[in-house]
């Protein structure tokens, strides 16, 4: 009969240990008990979940099929209430008893609740499980004052997450400086400044005496008498090993379940792994040593006992975008024989300290720039003699790519610190299994499934080694602002951010690039209905000079010709301007208007003046044109007045920015002469009604537009178009054309949210459109009030020969 192995705890350490056991090909009949109802997930990534960067699907480590594939019996949502080491049984709370031959305790730990009054009030939370994270996301939001008790790794990550959800956050910390277990006082104060710059209030040296409020929490009172308001409190003040089960069963327990170097408890056949353990008087709070424990245990339980467990120097990294903090080893320079090497740049917020002992690295603290963390960790773990490198400890000769260079790593160097995966193992896996995506690499080697900080390194290894490397579809906007666009839209709207720079500074790297700057420009514009602070340096050149740049650096000029209708007078002015400014070509465009190609930047303002027509926005992610057919005024088949309607539609929407260019058409009957059914928005006249269609395309691809609604009057048709237009503006990703947007959301949802939405919802959509429209104007009027040297060719002050 197969030996029966029971595992209590479906968390990170327990399941990682089971993964190792499976590798030994020992044939156990495995049952895993987990009191959470979820499959095995990456707890570390709950911080990005709270910050909206990841969803549950993204953080699953082993899904249902994994348990099934390996014949593992998973008892989820089942809490083990007692174990009997003599009868060799575990009993779950529902009274079911399961026999085992061997047992692994992997119960993890629980949040520590410091002694204070009022912790049972509603609105008081901890942050340990996915359910906790979900509750926090549900209940947080703009206008809510939140307090986080505890300024360690977990507390700060929770604080940032809540802030991204819109809360006004204060971190309350007992010690004099933040993260005092990982940082010295100087490092802590650098970190505090960074958190404050992000808009999170930090109060250090504060001991909470009571949570105030009647039933629901309303505030905190400190021992010094000071009080602050808080409608939501998260306690992140440390953890306590879950050892009660073992204690009740008579196992040796101090703070945690006592284990030896082979993870054996005091009871034969019973092992423990993870945060519930205590080894040589030490308990654990980070995964790297726990995975090590798992390997040792797997060897022991399968009869392959190898070297025992020894705790390595702990290394910790803060997972807050834009706040780089890394700490490893013993950084206390007051210890005998220790000497410190420091670098500080207060203006840039960079602080680095290495502590050496006997010419070897003992500890390291990095704040503001942790790009070299791998180098230091390697020195620390290998105990490298640094005598020869003394001059370059903090300022290594810059690598070719300015960052850490994967090519220079030795094969035995660790890439993934959490799971202990070396460069050699990764390269071997890539070759052996033809790996070409990150997902495959994670699946094979488990690298980067811990804290994720080695993802970049894994990617560069893949890129360098895998012949068929495939870049994963980027879900985030870009490296500078690593949020999915949905999240960013929500952040900008709820936090009322009104400038590109403020978004970059609070949620990004402060610099931005050609991808994120135009996108954020759009997002702040639409979220504030045009009330944002316009930043032209963040716009593409076309939107700085309101003309489309050409291959030779000149520009094209397309005046607005609403509905494709013009006059002899306009045509005369166009002809005159074309001659006066020597345009290289006059062309009738595919959008029923005229393009003047090859205009010099400095001629643009005068040319616009001479034309006396508004901008056609032919250069912008904005409203291009409304094409029309001749319609009922002239055409023998015409059933609706497409020209008047088209011109009116263009007037209502022109001058506004949209996620991508928006092209419209209005036709007088279903013969569809102006191709309305392949436009972003089309109005198709019928006898006695209009069809309003959306999401059509005839560019890179062809897509027939979906019917949004059929209405009787022209007024209703125009309103339906406006509703969809504003809905697209507010909900599409930047650079998402309507044909993708409609496909992504589905026309049913769009109908429900626009034309069939409750009256007040529709009125609000139209109200925001109206507000944006009121604030907009013809871009070419900027000729009367240009920005500094916007159209000017600068001449040097001194003549050059």
Which residues would be at the binding site for other proteins (CB under 8 A)?
A: 371, 401-403, 480, 509, 511-514, 517-518, 535-538, 540-541, 544, 549, 551, 553, 787-789, 792-798, 800-801
Question: In whole angstroms, how close is the CB of 480 to other proteins at the nearest point?
Answer: 7
Paired with 122 in beta bridges are 216
Q: Residue 261 in 3-state DSSP?
A: coil
Looking at residue 315, what DSSP letter applies?
E
Residue 392 contacts residue 347 (beta carbons within 8 Å):
no
Residues contacting ligand FAD: total by CB under 6 A: 35
Q: State how far the alpha carbon of 548 is from the alpha carbons of 554, 596, 660, in Å.
A: 8, 11, 15
Using the rule CB under 6 A, give the single segment among 284-292, 593-601, 620-628, 771-779 that binds ligand FAD. 284-292
Judged by CB under 6 A, which of 5, 6, 7, 12 binds ligand FAD? Answer: 12
> Which CB sits closer to ligand SRM, 589 or 710?
589
Q: In whole angstroms, give the CA distance from residue 555 to residue 547.
A: 6
Question: In whole angstroms, how close is the CB of 734 to other proteins at the nearest point?
Answer: 14
Question: In whole angstroms, how close is the CB of 736 to other proteins at the nearest point?
Answer: 19
Question: In whole angstroms, how close is the CB of 512 to other proteins at the nearest point?
Answer: 6
Judged by CB under 6 A, which of 63, 99, 389, 637 binds ligand SF4? Answer: 637
Q: Residue 518: what are its φ and ψ, rounded to 5°?
A: -65, -35
> Which CB sits closer to ligand SF4, 629 or 732?
629
Question: In whole angstroms, how close is the CB of 739 to ligand SRM at the nearest point?
Answer: 7
Partner that binds at residue 110, options ligand SF4, other proteins, ligand SRM, none, CB closer than 5 to 8 Å by kind: none
Q: In whole angstroms, give the CA distance from residue 31 to residue 46.
A: 26
Binding site for ligand SRM (CB under 6 A): 548, 550, 556, 558, 587, 589-591, 593, 595, 616, 618, 624-625, 663, 697-700, 737
Using the rule CB under 6 A, give the single segment among 100-108, 135-143, 188-196, 696-704 that binds ligand FAD. 100-108
Binding mask 125-164 for ligand SF4 (x = CB under 6 A): ----------------------------------------
116: Cβ contacts below 8 Å, ≥ 6 apart: 208, 209, 210, 211
Question: In whole angstroms, how close is the CB of 550 to ligand SF4 at the nearest point?
Answer: 33
Residue showing the smallest CB distance to ligand FAD in the complex: 11
Partner that binds at residue 541, options ligand FAD, other proteins, ligand SRM, none, CB closer than 5 to 8 Å by kind: other proteins
Residue 362 contacts residue 338 (beta carbons within 8 Å):
yes
What is the number of alpha carbons within 13 Å of residue 564 lying toward its C-beta?
A: 21
Dihedral sign computed on CA atoms, order 220, 223, 225, 226: negative
Question: In whole angstroms, how close is the CB of 35 to ligand FAD at the nearest point?
Answer: 4
Residue showing the smallest CB distance to ligand SRM in the complex: 699
β-pair type (232-235, 145-149): parallel
44: Cβ contacts below 8 Å, ≥ 6 apart: 12, 287, 319, 418, 450, 451, 452
Partner that binds at residue 513, options ligand SF4, other proteins, ligand SRM, none, CB closer than 5 to 8 Å by kind: other proteins
Q: In whole angstroms, give the CA distance from residue 448 to residue 45.
A: 11
Judged by CB under 6 A, which of 365, 451, 480, 545 binds ligand FAD? Answer: 451
669 binds ligand SF4 (CB under 6 A): yes
Instruction: Tokens for 270, please give them.
Output: 């019973």
> Which CB sits closer to ligand SRM, 324 or 595?
595
β-pair type (227-229, 201-203): unpaired
14 binds ligand FAD (CB under 6 A): yes
Q: In whole angstroms, give the CA distance from residue 81 to residue 93.
A: 5
Taking residue 345's Cβ as centre, other Cβ atoms within 10 Å add up to 12
Cα angle at 728 between 727 and 731, to 5 degrees?
A: 80
682 binds ligand SF4 (CB under 6 A): no
Residue 133 contacts residue 110 (beta carbons within 8 Å):
no
Question: In whole angstroms, how close is the CB of 473 to ligand SRM at the nearest point?
Answer: 18
Partner that binds at residue 638, options ligand SF4, other proteins, ligand FAD, none, CB closer than 5 to 8 Å by kind: ligand SF4
β-pair type (227-229, 239-241): unpaired
Question: In whole angstroms, how close is the CB of 553 to other proteins at the nearest point?
Answer: 4
31 binds ligand FAD (CB under 6 A): no
Partner that binds at residue 587, options ligand FAD, other proteins, ligand SRM, none, CB closer than 5 to 8 Å by kind: ligand SRM
**Inter-axis angle of helices 568-580 and 604-611, nearest 10:** 160
> Which CB sits closer to ligand SF4, 43 or 679?
679
Q: In whole angstroms, give the CA distance from residue 295 to residue 262.
A: 10
Q: State how far the alpha carbon of 434 is from the alpha carbons of 243, 316, 410, 456, 495, in Å.
A: 44, 32, 22, 20, 45
Q: In whole angstroms, give the CA distance from residue 117 to residue 208.
A: 9
Q: In whole angstroms, give the CA distance from residue 211 to residue 217.
A: 6
Judged by CB under 6 A, which of 21, 39, 46, 267 binds ligand FAD? Answer: 46
Instruction: Tokens for 656, please give them.
Output: 């506004």
Paired with 599 in beta bridges are 555
Binding mask 605-634 for ligand SF4 (x = CB under 6 A): ------------------------xxx---
Question: In whole angstroms, how close is the CB of 499 to ligand SF4 at the nearest point?
Answer: 45
Paired with 28 in beta bridges are 3
Residue 546 contacts residue 615 (beta carbons within 8 Å):
yes
127 binds ligand FAD (CB under 6 A): yes
537 binds ligand SF4 (CB under 6 A): no
Taking residue 620's Cβ as centre, other Cβ atoms within 10 Å add up to 23
Judged by CB under 6 A, which of 154, 354, 664, 765 binds ligand FAD? Answer: 154
Using the rule CB under 6 A, give the single segment among 7-15, 461-469, 605-613, 739-747 that binds ligand FAD. 7-15
Paired with 8 in beta bridges are 33, 105
> Which CB sits closer to ligand SF4, 455 or 672?
672
> Which CB sits closer to other proteins, 487 or 539?
539
Q: In whole angstroms, give the CA distance from residue 484 to residue 38.
A: 24
> Which CB sits closer to ligand FAD, 79 or 221?
79
Q: In whole angstroms, give the CA distance from residue 562 to residue 544.
A: 23
72 binds ligand FAD (CB under 6 A): no
565 binds ligand SF4 (CB under 6 A): no
Among candidate residues 522, 607, 585, the one with its CA nearest the CA of residue 780: 607
> Which CB sits closer to other proteins, 371 or 710?
371
Q: In whole angstroms, give the CA distance from residue 714 to residue 88.
A: 79
> Which CB sits closer to other proteins, 454 or 481?
481
Question: In whole angstroms, how close is the CB of 162 to ligand FAD at the nearest point?
Answer: 12
Judged by CB under 6 A, which of 5, 18, 31, 36 binds ligand FAD? Answer: 36
Instruction: Tokens for 780, please give them.
Output: 């070419």
For residues 498-512, b (16+ Cβ closer than 10 Å) or e, as one string? bbbbbbbbbbbbeeb
Q: Residue 335: what are its φ and ψ, rounded to 5°?
A: -65, 145
Judged by CB under 6 A, which of 6, 30, 80, 237 binds ligand FAD? Answer: 80
> Which CB sits closer to ligand SRM, 9 or 616?
616
128 binds ligand FAD (CB under 6 A): yes
Q: In 83-235, where does DSSP find H-type helix? A: 130-139, 153-164, 185-197
Partner that binds at residue 420, options ligand FAD, ligand SF4, other proteins, none, CB closer than 5 to 8 Å by kind: none
Site of interaction with ligand SF4 (CB under 6 A)? 629-631, 635, 637-638, 642, 667-669, 671-673
- Binding residues (CB under 6 A) for ligand FAD: these are 8-14, 33-36, 43-44, 46-47, 79-80, 106-108, 127-128, 154, 242, 245, 274-275, 285-288, 290, 319, 418, 451
């Amino acid at each position: 009969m197969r030996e029966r192995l029971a595992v209590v705890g479906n968390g990170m350490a327990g399941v990682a240990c089971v993964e190792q056991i499976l590798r030994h090909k020992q044939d156990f009949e495995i049952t895993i008990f987990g009191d959470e109802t979820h499959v095995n997930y990456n707890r570390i990534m709950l911080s990005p979940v709270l910050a909206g960067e990841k969803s549950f699907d993204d953080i699953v480590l082993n899904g249902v099929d994994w348990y099934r594939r390996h014949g593992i019996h998973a008892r989820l949502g089942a809490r083990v209430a007692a174990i009997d080491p003599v009868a060799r049984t575990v009993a779950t709370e529902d009274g079911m008893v399961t026999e085992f031959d061997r047992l692994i305790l992997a119960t993890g730990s629980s949040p520590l609740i410091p002694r204070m009054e009022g912790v049972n009030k509603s609105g008081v939370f901890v942050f340990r499980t996915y359910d906790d994270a979900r509750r926090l996301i549900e209940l947080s939001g703009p206008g809510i004052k939140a307090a986080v008790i505890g300024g360690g790794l977990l507390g700060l990550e929770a604080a940032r997450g809540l802030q991204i959800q819109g809360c006004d956050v204060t971190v309350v910390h007992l010690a004099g400086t933040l993260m005092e277990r990982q940082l010295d006082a100087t490092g802590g104060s650098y970190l505090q400044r960074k958190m404050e710059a992000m808009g999170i209030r930090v109060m250090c040296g504060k001991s909470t005496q009571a949570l105030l409020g009647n039933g629901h929490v309303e505030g905190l009172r400190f021992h010094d008498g000071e009080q602050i308001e808080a409608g939501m409190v998260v306690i992140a003040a440390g953890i306590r090993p879950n050892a009660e089960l073992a204690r009740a069963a008579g196992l040796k327990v101090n703070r945690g379940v006592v284990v030896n170097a082979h993870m054996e408890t005091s009871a034969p056949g019973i092992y423990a792994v993870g945060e519930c353990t205590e080894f040589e008087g030490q308990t654990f709070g980070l995964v790297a040593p726990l995975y090590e424990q798992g390997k040792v245990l797997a060897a022991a339980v399968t009869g392959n006992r190898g070297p025992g467990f020894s705790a390595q120097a702990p290394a910790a990294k803060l997972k807050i975008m834009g706040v780089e903090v890394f700490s490893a080893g013993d950084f206390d320079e007051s210890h005998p024989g220790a000497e410190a090497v420091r670098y500080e740049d207060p203006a840039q917020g960079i602080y680095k300290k290495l502590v050496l002992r006997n010419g070897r690295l003992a500890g390291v603290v990095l704040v503001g720039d942790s790009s070299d963390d791998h180098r230091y960790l390697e020195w620390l773990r290998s105990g490298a003699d640094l005598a020869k490198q003394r001059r370059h400890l903090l300022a290594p000769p810059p690598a070719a790519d300015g960052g850490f260079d994967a090519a220079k790593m030795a094969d035995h160097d660790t890439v993934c610190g959490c799971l202990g995966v070396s460069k050699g193992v990764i390269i071997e896996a890539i070759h052996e299994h033809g790996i070409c995506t990150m997902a495959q690499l994670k699946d094979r080697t488990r690298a980067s499934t811990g804290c994720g900080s080695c993802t970049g390194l894994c990617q560069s290894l893949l890129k360098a080694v895998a012949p068929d490397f495939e870049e994963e579809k980027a879900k985030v906007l870009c490296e500078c602002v690593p949020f999915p666009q949905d999240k960013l839209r929500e952040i900008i709207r709820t936090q009322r951010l009104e400038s590109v720079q403020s978004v970059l500074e609070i949620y990004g790297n402060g610099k931005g690039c050609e991808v994120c700057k135009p996108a954020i420009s759009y997002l702040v514009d639409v979220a504030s209905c045009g009330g944002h602070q316009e930043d032209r340096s963040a716009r593409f050149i076309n939107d700085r000079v309101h003309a489309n740049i050409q291959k030779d650096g000149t520009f094209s000029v397309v005046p607005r010709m609403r509905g494709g209708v013009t006059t002899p007078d306009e045509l005369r002015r166009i002809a005159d301007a074309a001659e006066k400014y020597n345009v290289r070509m006059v062309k009738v465009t595919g959008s029923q208007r005229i393009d003047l190609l090859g205009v010099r930047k400095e001629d643009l303002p005068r040319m616009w003046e001479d034309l006396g027509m508004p901008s056609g926005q032919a250069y912008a992610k904005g409203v291009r044109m409304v094409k029309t057919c001749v319609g009922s005024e002239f055409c023998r088949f015409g059933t609706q007045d497409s020209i008047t309607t088209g011109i009116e539609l263009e007037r209502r929407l022109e001058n506004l920015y949209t996620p991508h260019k928006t092209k419209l058409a209005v036709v007088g009957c279903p013969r569809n002469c102006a191709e309305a059914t392949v436009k972003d928005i089309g109005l198709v006249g019928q006898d006695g009604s209009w069809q309003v269609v959306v999401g059509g395309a005839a560019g890179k691809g062809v897509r027939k537009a979906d019917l949004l609604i059929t209405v009787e009057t022209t007024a209703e048709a125009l309103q339906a178009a406006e509703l969809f237009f504003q809905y697209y503006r507010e909900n599409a990703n930047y650079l998402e054309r309507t044909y993708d947007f409609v496909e992504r959301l589905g026309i049913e949802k769009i109908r429900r949210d626009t034309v069939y939405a409750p009256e007040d919802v529709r009125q609000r959509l139209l109200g925001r459109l109206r507000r944006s429209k009121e604030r907009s104007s013809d871009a070419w009027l900027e000729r009367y009030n240009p920005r500094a040297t916007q159209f000017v060719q600068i001449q040097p002050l001194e003549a050059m020969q």
